[in-house]
Amino acid sequence: MFLRTTVWMICLAAWPVLAQLQPQVFKLTDGGTIVGRMVAPQDKHLQVALDSGGGAPVYTNILWANLSQETLQQLTTNRSAAPFARIFLDPPAQQRSVKAAKPITIQPPPRLNRPQGGSLFASPVMLTLLLLIYVANIYAGWEIGVFRRWPAAMVAAVSAVLPIVGPALFLAMPTHRAKSEEVEELAHAPVDEAHAVTEEAPAAPVEEQPAQPAVPQTVVYARGQFTFNRRFFETKFAGFLKMVPGEAERDKLIYIKSARGEYTGHRLSKVEPNEVFLQIKKGTVSEDVMIPFSEIYEVHVKHKDA
C-alpha cells in the first residue's frame, strides 16, 4: 500500500516535466500556430524549443500578448507558466442585470385657469387694460378741453360718459372763444365807410378833439393757432428777454391768460423747456411768476395805454 502511494506521488510530480518534454501546439492571436516544447517562461515572452526533426533544437520567443486566450487558458495548468498566463487572460464577461423599464408618467405643466364663459371681461388682465384705456380717455378729454379752450372738467366728464367718442367730438370742434373776444375782433374789424352812414341819418356835428398818438394794435397769440414752447417765446419775444427792453418793446406789455390766472408784465425773465417766467410788478416790488406752457391759453402783446 505504501509503495503504491509513493509511485503515484512520483508520477504526479514528474507529470509537468514530462509535459514540457512533449511538443505542444501554441495558437496565436493572428490565427497561426507554433509547435514546440515549452522551455522557460519569462516576464515578457515564453521560450519555446521548436521541433527540428532530431537535430539541434531551435529556440524562439513568443510574446505573451501574441498567444490566444485558449493557449493561455491551457498554460494556467502549468505551475511555472501559470503566473504569467493569468495576467494576459481576459476577465470573464460580467452579466448585466436587465432591469425592467420604468413606466414614463407625463405630468402636465401648471397652467392658468381659463375664464369661464369665454368673455373678455372675465380675464383680470383684460380688465386692467380696459381700465387703463378708460383713464387715458378721460385724461385725453381734459387735454383736448385745454387745447380747444372749452371747460376742461366738462370735456373730461363727457369723455367719461362717452369714451373715445366724446374726446373725438371736441377735438373736431373749432376752438371756443368767449364773447368778449368776439366783440374785440368785431371792434378791430375794418368798417365799410360807404355803409357806415345812412342817407336817412343826419350827420352829427363833429367836435374838434386834440390829436392823440395812434396806439399800436394788440397782437394776440391763441392756443391752437400757435404752439407755446421754448422756441416760440425765444423767437416771438426776443426783445422782451433783454434786461433793458429796446425801443420797440419799451411801451409794450405782455399779457398771459392761463389756467392759473391772468398775468401782465413788462419782460420775460427766463424761458425753460417746459415753462416761462414772467416778471410782474406789485407796487414797487417785482416778482417772477412761473407759467407752464401746457396751461397757457393766450398771449397778448399790447401797448401800456391800450
Question: Which residue among 88, 112, 141 closes a domain?
Answer: 88
Within a domain: 101: no
Which cell numbers in the block locate residue 304? 401800456
Report the candidate in 26, 16, 20, 35 with the shortest Cα–Cα distance to residue 70: 26
Do residues 82 and 94 make contact, with C-beta atoms less than 8 angstroms apart? Answer: no
Tell me the average pLDDT across 1-22: 58
CA torsion angle 210 216 217 219 (round to 10):
-160
Summarize pLDDT for 121-164 with one digit per residue, the tens.
Answer: 777 888 899 999 999 999 999 999 888 888 899 999 999 999 99
For the chain, the residue count is 306
pLDDT at 34 over 90: no
22 and 75 share one domain: yes
Within a domain: 185: no
- Low-confidence winner among 27-31, 112-116, 200-204, 246-250 (lowest mean pLDDT): 200-204
Q: Can you state the angle between helices 124-148 and 152-161, rounded to 10 degrees?
A: 150
Tell me the average pLDDT across 212-234: 83
Within a domain: 41: yes
| pTM of this structure | 0.33
280 and 221 share one domain: yes
User: Which CATH number does the domain housing residue 271 bear?
Assistant: 2.30.30
Work out how many domains the chain is built from and give that number: 3
Contacts of 166 (CB under 8 A, 6+ apart): 137, 141, 155, 158, 159, 160
224 and 283 share one domain: yes
157 and 235 share one domain: no
Quote the mean pLDDT of the chain: 78
Within a domain: 187: no
126 and 79 share one domain: no
**Owning domain of residue 23:** 9-88
Summarize pLDDT for 63-86 with one digit per residue, the tens.
Answer: 888 888 888 888 888 888 888 888
128 and 62 share one domain: no
The pLDDT value recorded for residue 156 is: 92
Within a domain: 183: no
Within a domain: 169: yes
172 and 228 share one domain: no
Fill in the amino acid letter for 152: A
The pLDDT value recorded for residue 2 is: 65
pLDDT at 95 over 90: no
Summarize pLDDT for 255-301 with one digit per residue, the tens.
Answer: 999 988 888 888 888 889 899 998 888 777 888 889 999 899 999 98
* Three-state secondary structure readout of 92-130: CCCCCCCCCCCCCCCCCCCCCCCCCCCCHHHCHHHHHHH
End-to-end CA distance of the chain: 162
Within a domain: 201: no
Within a domain: 254: yes
270 and 220 share one domain: yes
Report the candidate in 225, 206, 218 with the shortest Cα–Cα distance to residue 297: 225
227 and 290 share one domain: yes
